[in-house]
């Protein structure tokens, strides 16, 4: 899943700090000293309090970055999906323990050949406005997301379904139809789905919120619906989305699904700065924060004790490259850029070693991850990088780096990367393009970036395929394509079981790493913190994030 991306004021990577790699390290050191200073970051007296009893009721507040949309199929932003997973039940969810698919809005999902699937809708399901959830509710939602001219952000997730190509002509022409040929509404409770080829991991894919059903209201007033979506999940909107301020949810009356909510209300407070959000968490004005800034990890641990958690994560950061720009066309130049970056130095200085340097396109927690798959290309080899860079013809003009303003560490690590490209490769004309995630997303999705950009992937389901297809499949942000890569992915998809598919996915990863359309940087760990007011906090590494419905509140 692509998280929200980059913010608007351009700024040069130059000036008094240019070329000084101690800058990020100094920031981290200051944060550490502040955390250890007397009277600072003390562990609260309430740290020893037990979790609230498992009694329904109460309200709690979650820190959030401004989403781009709240209609499931229109977004792949992790910020949006945290809200959406409370409002909607997709066909299945993923078990937090091992990632296998568990029925949610679907009663069952079956196939004899892994190409034709039968989805049976859970009986009695209803949207928050009382409209029944039927097989057509799913088909209509999927058709809308897959229809290219709509420009919905999750469009590519539907590429496995027969008829997708007709809805997304390669030449940009008007599609001859608005419906996927592979969807057949058999009756109110049965949807038959025909894929373009066998795909053993299709059940896991259906956990992504874009596959949630939509009511008719989503299409009568799309803009109004996006401000106040009507879902089928455990929570309903409580008033309209107040952009850049808050989103409020309340317990959905009449919800009869398998995720009964504990709290009566969930309030999302929207922040432009994660540092500000963390300060509000410490002050008791926020109850949960999903991504504690890495520079404040020591402070968080001392302040929140057992209510601060560091868990393995499926999230990865990359440096994406705009291959439509001929300056980035040579794989040799791209490898030189990669070898000029000191991943371990950056993760030490900026992320307090909570993040791990990447050695693959895939996070270490994923079955099928291969340690060292990237080889020397992901190792810090400045001399070899310069030699390869010169052999590739070097770089001319301004190098622009795109990133979001939603986390201070984004600018810190981009500054470190810029300094290393200057020092190790001699690229001195470097400009920052910093903007909001909401502004950056369309630039990246529309292939309008004119330089490398922060690319982030939040895993949707535990498979190597999710990274490779999501990042480098059809219509990816880099503009890269390779038939051999596509063929290897297809062979993996058609394997009888997910385990049997891994060798083929490794072949695809090797092709991608050889050509390097995007550069692996580091693997996140999830750093979460919460107040003593809430308990039963479960954050899984897949698309669900915080399980809103499970949280209990002291009241």
Q: Which residue has the tokens 């568990």?
A: 102
Complete DSSP assignment for 104-126: SSEEEEEESSSSEEEEEEPTT-B
Residue 209 pLDDT: 96
CATH match of 10-14+316-526 with 3.10.105.10: yes
pLDDT of residue 172: 82
**DSSP one-letter string for 458-491:** --SSS-HHHHHHHHHSTT-TT----HHHHHHHHH
Global confidence as pTM: 0.80
- pLDDT recorded at residue 475: 79
Alpha helices of 108-229 — where are they, by DSSP H?
Answer: 135-146, 164-167, 202-205, 217-220, 222-227
How are beta strands 265-270 and 246-251 bridged, if at all? antiparallel
Residues of the chain scoring pLDDT < 70:
1-49
Q: Using an 8 Å Cβ cutoff, are 385 and 425 in contact?
A: yes
- Integer Cα distance of 317 and 521 in angstroms: 6
* Calpha distance 168→343 (Å, rounded): 38
Instruction: Name every residue whose Cβ is closer than 8 Å to that of residue 474 and which is 6 or more positions away in sequence.
Output: 156, 159, 481
pLDDT of residue 22: 33
Q: What radius of gyration, in Å, describes the C-alpha atoms of the chain?
A: 23
pLDDT at 408: 82
At residue 193, φ and ψ (nearest 5 deg) are: -120, 120
CATH of 88-207, one of 3.90.76.10, 3.40.630.30, 3.30.565.10, 3.40.1010.10: 3.90.76.10
pLDDT of amino acid 49: 65
- How confident is the model at residue 46, as a pLDDT? 52
Full DSSP string of 364-407: TTSTT--TTTTGGGGS--HHHHHHHHHHTT---SPEEEEEESSS
CATH topology match: 10-14+316-526 vs 88-207: no
Residue 3 has what pLDDT? 43
The pLDDT of residue 155 = 92
Q: Which residue matches tokens 């309430």? A: 46
pLDDT reported for residue 546 = 95
d(CA 98, CA 313): 13
Whole-number pLDDT of residue 297? 87
Determine contact, residues 142/191, Cβ cutoff 8 Å: no
State the residue for tokens 């924060």: 289
Phi, psi of 205 (to 5 degrees): -60, -35
Domain ranges of the chain: 10-14+316-526, 88-207
pLDDT the model gives residue 441: 87
pLDDT given at position 405: 86
């Amino acid at each position: 899943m692509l998280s929200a991306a980059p913010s608007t004021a351009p700024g040069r990577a130059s000036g008094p700090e240019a070329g000084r790699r101690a800058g990020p390290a100094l920031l981290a050191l200051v944060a550490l000293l502040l955390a250890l200073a007397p009277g600072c970051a003390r562990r609260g007296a309430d740290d020893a309090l037990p979790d609230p009893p498992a009694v329904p009721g109460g309200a709690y507040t979650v820190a959030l970055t401004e989403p781009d949309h709240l209609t499931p199929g229109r977004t792949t932003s992790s910020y949006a999906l945290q809200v959406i997973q409370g409002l909607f039940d997709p066909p299945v969810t993923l078990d937090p323990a091992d990632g296998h698919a568990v029925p949610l809005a679907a009663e069952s999902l079956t196939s004899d050949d892994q190409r034709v699937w039968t989805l049976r809708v859970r009986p009695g399901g209803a949207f928050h406005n009382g409209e029944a959830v039927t097989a057509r509710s799913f088909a209509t939602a999927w058709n809308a997301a897959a229809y290219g001219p709509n420009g919905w952000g999750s469009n590519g997730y539907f590429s496995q379904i027969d008829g997708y190509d007709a809805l997304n002509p390669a030449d940009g022409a008007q599609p001859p139809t608005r419906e996927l040929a592979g969807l057949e509404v058999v009756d109110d409770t049965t949807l038959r789905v025909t894929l373009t080829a066998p795909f053993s991991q299709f059940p896991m894919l259906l956990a992504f919120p874009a596959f949630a059903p939509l009511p008719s209201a989503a299409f009568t007033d799309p803009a109004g619906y996006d401000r106040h979506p009507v879902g089928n999940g455990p929570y309903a909107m409580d008033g309209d989305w107040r952009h850049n301020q808050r989103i409020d949810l309340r317990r959905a009356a009449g919800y009869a699904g398998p995720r009964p909510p504990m709290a009566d209300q969930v309030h999302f407070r929207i922040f432009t700065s994660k540092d500000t959000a963390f300060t509000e968490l410490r002050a008791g004005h926020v109850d949960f924060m999903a991504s504690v800034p890495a520079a404040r990890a020591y402070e968080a641990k001392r302040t929140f004790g057992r209510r601060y958690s560091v868990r393995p994560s499926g999230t990865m950061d990359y440096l994406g490259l705009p291959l439509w720009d001929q300056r980035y066309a040579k794989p040799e130049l791209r490898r030189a850029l990669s070898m000029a970056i000191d991943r371990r130095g950056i993760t030490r200085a900026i992320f307090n070693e909570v993040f791990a340097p990447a050695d693959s396109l895939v996070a270490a927690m994923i079955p099928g991850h291969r340690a060292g798959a990237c080889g020397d290309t992901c190792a810090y080899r400045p001399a070899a990088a310069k030699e390869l860079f010169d052999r590739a013809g070097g770089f001319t003009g301004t190098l622009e780096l795109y990133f979001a303003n939603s986390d201070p560490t984004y600018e810190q690590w981009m500054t470190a990367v810029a300094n290393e490209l200057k020092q190790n490769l001699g690229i001195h004309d470097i400009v920052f393009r910093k903007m909001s995630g909401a502004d950056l997303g369309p630039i990246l999705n529309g292939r309008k970036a004119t330089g490398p950009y922060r690319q982030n992937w939040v895993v949707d389901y535990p498979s190597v395929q999710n990274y490779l297809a999501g990042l480098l499949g059809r219509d990816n942000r880099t503009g890269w394509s390779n038939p051999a890569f596509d063929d290897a992915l297809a062979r993996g998809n058609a394997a009888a079981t997910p385990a049997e598919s891994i060798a083929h996915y490794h072949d695809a990863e090797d092709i991608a790493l050889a050509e390097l359309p995007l550069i692996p940087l580091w693997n996140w760990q999830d750093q979460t913190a919460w107040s003593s007011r809430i308990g039963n906090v479960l954050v899984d590494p897949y698309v669900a994030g915080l399980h809103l419905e499970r949280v209990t509140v002291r009241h």
